[in-house]
Amino acid sequence: MYVVIMGCGRVGARLARLLVKAGHEVTVIDTNPSAFQRLGSDFPGTTMVGSGIDMDTLERAGIERADAFAAVTQGDNRNIMASQLAKEIYKVPKVVTRIYDPIRQDTFLTLGLDAISPTVIGARAFYTALTGQEPDDEV
């Protein structure tokens, strides 16, 4: 697959490394060039400085031929906007979005976005480790 990732924070960088290890072709976009250090000096993919909510940047990153797009910055609204660009304008087949603050869960659902919240997953994992049980997630 050719995957474009917006956001080279901890999640984005780790995701990028997982994907290239599995043999996929990856381009990572971030507004801050020093974020790419998280990828390691041996990262075989492509990095691009720019904003994932800018169509020119996305096009330079090859979004038109992308099989998948992941918006994993810490800004929920930017993630939402970029995902919609990818999904509705560029028709990328698989688009996944990060929710940073679970309070926006409803928003993501309303907009029909495939969303993953490391916050929710993390809290759940801790809960299970502490109590040995699955939590009732509605909080």
Partner 1 sequence: MYIIIAGGGKVGFYLARELIAQGHEVLVIEQNPARADEISSQLGNVVMTGNADEASVLAEAGANRADVVVSVIGADERNLVICQVAKRRFNVPRTIARISNPKNERIFRVLGIDATVNTTDVILSIIEQEIPAQSLVPLLRLRHADVEIVEAVLPKGSPLHGVALRDLYLPPESIIAIIIRNGEPIFPAGGTTLEAGDEIVALTRSVHEEELRQTFFAKR
Q: Where are the beta strands (DSSP E) in 7-93?
A: 25-30, 46-49, 68-71
How would you label 1-31 residue by residue, b for 16+ Cβ within 10 Å and e otherwise?
A: ebbbbbbbbebbbebbbebbeeeebbbbbbb
Per-residue x/- marks for partner 1, 34-73, CB under 8 A? -------------------xxxx-----------------
Within residues 67-126, the interface with partner 1 by CB under 8 A covers 75-78, 80-81, 84-85, 88-89, 103-104, 106-107, 110-111
Secondary structure (3-state) at 33: helix
Cβ 37 to partner 1 shortest distance, Å: 26
Cβ–Cβ < 8 Å for 2, 24: yes
Cβ 77 to partner 1 shortest distance, Å: 4
Whichever of 67 and 101 has its CB closer to partner 1, that residue is: 101
The site for partner 1 (CB under 8 A) is made up of 53-56, 75-78, 80-81, 84-85, 88-89, 103-104, 106-107, 110-111
